[in-house]
């Protein structure tokens, strides 16, 4: 098994060194332990990749409305999590099959996320899924614990996570 772990973090919270360890199952935990100790000794901060989830719905399959709702969702996620786009590893968008007028990732580009890696996919048809729905998973390099992440669900997508 190969374990890829981030190396030292510089003052701008960018990874400046990637360290790869070839590890067998019996010494994987030891490698992780040594890497965490190395990070703490180097900068006193451990940066971990976390996921921020979010979703929104549109009222019609319209290019401009898709772009507007994506911008609204991303702005809400940025506001709730005090997110800096420099710390984003990648963003994955999905949309329901009834949305084909525009790629949600194109809406993120229009929003100004020109340097962020973006990917889009289509969800399966599911009778219980909300219609005209766009979901997002933002992979964020942060020192926050998972409990500190604020997921954002807007409009008809609020029904997806009634526990939040």
State pLDDT tens for residues 138-149: 999 999 999 999
State yes or no: pLDDT of 4 exceeds 60. Answer: no
Domain span holding position 91: 49-161
Q: How far apart are alpha carbons 138 and 151 in whole angstroms?
A: 10
Do 84 and 128 sit in the same domain of this protein?
yes
Per-residue pLDDT, 47? 81
- pTM equals 0.73
Higher pLDDT, 145 or 19: 145
State yes or no: pLDDT of 29 exceeds 80. Answer: no
| pLDDT band, very low/low/confident/very high, at 96 (cuts 50, 70, 90) | very high
Do 98 and 54 sit in the same domain of this protein?
yes
Paired strand residues for 54? 136, 152
In the chain, the number of structural domains is 2
Q: What is the mean pLDDT of the segment spanning 76-91?
A: 96
């Amino acid at each position: 098994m190969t374990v890829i772990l981030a190396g030292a973090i510089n003052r701008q919270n960018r990874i400046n060194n990637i360290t790869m360890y070839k590890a067998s199952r019996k010494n994987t935990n030891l490698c992780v332990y040594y890497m965490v100790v190395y990070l703490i000794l180097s900068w006193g901060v451990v940066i971990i990749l976390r996921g921020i989830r979010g979703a929104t719905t549109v009222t019609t399959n319209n290019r401009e409305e898709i772009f507007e709702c994506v911008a609204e969702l991303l702005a809400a996620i940025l506001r709730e999590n005090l997110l800096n786009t420099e710390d984003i590893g990648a963003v994955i968008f999905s949309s329901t099959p009834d949305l084909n007028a525009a790629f949600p990732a194109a809406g993120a580009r229009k929003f100004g996320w020109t340097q962020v890696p973006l990917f889009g996919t289509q969800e399966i048809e599911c009778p219980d899924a909300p219609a005209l729905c766009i979901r997002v998973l933002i992979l964020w390099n942060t020192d926050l614990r998972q409990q500190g992440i604020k997921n954002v669900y807007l409009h008809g997508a609020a029904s997806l996570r009634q526990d939040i």
